[in-house]
Amino acid sequence: MPMELTQSRIQKIWLPNDNRPALPRRSCGPQLANSPTVIVMVGLPARGKTYISKKLTRYLNWIGVPTKVFNVGEYRREAVKHYSSYDFFRPDNEEAMKVRRQCAMAALRDVKLYLTEEAGQIAVFDATNTTRERRGMILNFAKENGFKVFFIESVCNDPNVVATNVMEVKLSSPDYRDCNSTDAMEDFMKRINCYQASYQPLDPDDYDRELSLIKVIDVGRRFLVNRVQDHIQSRIVYYLMNIHVQPRTIYLCRHGESEFNLKGRIGGDSGLSNRGKKFAVALNKFVEEQNLKDLKVWTSQLKRTIQTAEALQLPYEQWKALNEIDAGVCEEMTYEEIREQHPEEFALRDQDKYYYRYPSGESYQDLVQRLEPVIMELERQENVLVICHQAVMRCLLAYFLDKSADEMPYLKCPLHTVLKLTPVAYGCRVESISLNIEAVNTHRDRPENMNNSQKPS
């Protein structure tokens, strides 16, 4: 007999009408029908492993795959409160080798806990893992627990790139808190030498031919991929092949104030108000003052973003993916009209704004999936100005600032304000620049308490 189904009121998806336990909420991203995965970083110190770990984790969490980094260096700093020198990393320092192994085991225990009891889907094991013995231990651990393993090796032999990485990241590490930069640099280079002697790179042509892996060579100049097992590993490979570390700036802003903004109506395709047109002129002046080489300008396919871009006297590219969230049956209505005509929908959206899907429309979760190609292309580009919409800008900002799905729908993205994003070592610096053109406030704060009249029956 066909199974009876019930439609979820928030997400508008069909669910079995039985007593089976619901899936964890964050599993609403790409479904991993197979085992959880341990991503194992490999490479000498100062090769960008932690940079890749953090950036990849930010991306996977953004697309809805619960992911967490387990940095063995942090476990070591917890176990050994005061770092003295590179002697700790010498292969003949037996006492230190014992401590380092214990730290790796402690991190793996936490990996197991995360993947088996905390609804995690991917754990990133961030350490050097430069020997076959260490990698073998991790493979045995994964086999015992039914986890898949994917290796990411970062290989870089350019001394200038390594020195830059040491200066920008490693010298600010807690290990060198009370050390001058010259001594710290000398100590860290000796630390690298300690690993160099026993380093056994991944060998996909022979010894490691059965492993799933990607080698990232010279900061993305070349890649070597071996035995990709599943959809999520292919997504990881695609992402790693799109990111770069060149200095650049990303500017995010909304269109100028629209006629519908003035009337408090959501969605639609109205043109700019008089103040919105003034913002477009001010944005042109702002862009000229930034004096950027080869600035790319992207808009949605809606009238208000195109009118804003037209004032810039620059070529621009229209993306349908950048269109505002589709409010379905609520398009072109005010919030007061939605509350009166669709009271249950109004309350449901306040209850869970990220997963809530407008009838015949979209949710923030849908929007994230729609915007993934935009993120991929932003990662490939250098200087870009994105002229978009409130919900779209929130999704993009959440990616760059590593904000959760719960925080995303409430990020403040006011009209007539440019957000300047500058990638830094392990994150993104954001600067908010108001262009001093008055506009309506379209932000709705998270409801503190839903009273009984708002709650769905």
Residue 128, SS3 per DSSP: coil
Q: In Å, how far are 155, 180, 376 from 399, measured between CA atoms?
A: 27, 35, 11
396-439 confidence digits (pLDDT tens)? 999 999 999 999 999 999 999 999 999 987 889 999 999 999 99
Tokens 């730290």 correspond to 103
| pLDDT the model gives residue 451 | 46
Across the range 7-12, mean pLDDT stands at: 91
Supply 172's token pair: 């600010």
Rounded-to-integer distance, Cα 415 and Cα 390, Å: 8
For β-strands 384-388 and 250-254, DSSP reports them as: parallel
| pLDDT the model gives residue 124 | 98
Residue of 265 and 246 predicted with greater confidence:
265
Across the range 359-387, mean pLDDT stands at: 97
The letter for the amino acid at 324 is E
The letter for the amino acid at 429 is R
| pLDDT the model gives residue 245 | 84
Q: Which residues pair with 243 in a beta bridge?
A: none
Could you give the residue numbers annotated as active site?
Answer: 126, 156, 255, 324
Across the range 122-140, mean pLDDT stands at: 98
| Of 188, 129, 136, nearest in space to 163 by CA | 188
pTM: 0.93
Residue 169 has pLDDT above 50, yes or no: yes
| pLDDT the model gives residue 318 | 98
188-215 confidence digits (pLDDT tens)? 999 999 999 899 999 999 999 999 999 9
| pLDDT the model gives residue 30 | 54
Supply 14's token pair: 């069909």
Residue 437, SS3 per DSSP: coil
The letter for the amino acid at 389 is H
Asked if 308 and 279 count as a contact pair (C-beta separation under 8 A), the reply is: yes
Residue 107 CA neighbour count, 13 Å, CB half: 28
Residue 364, SS3 per DSSP: helix
Residue 21 has pLDDT above 80, yes or no: no
Mean pLDDT, the chain, rounded, equals: 93
Residue 278, SS3 per DSSP: helix
Name the band, by pLDDT with cuts 50, 70 and 90, for residue 33: low
| pLDDT the model gives residue 24 | 46
Q: Give the contacts of 23 (CB within 8 A, at least 6 positions apart).
A: none
Rounded-to-integer distance, Cα 423 and Cα 429, Å: 6
Tokens 């760059």 correspond to 400
Taking phi first (over 0 means left), then psi (-120 to 50 degrees means alpha), and beta for anything else, what does residue 434 get? beta
Q: Which residues pair with 318 in a beta bridge?
A: 299
77-108 confidence digits (pLDDT tens)? 999 989 999 999 999 999 999 999 999 999 99
Q: In the chain, pLDDT over 90 holds for what percent of residues?
A: 84
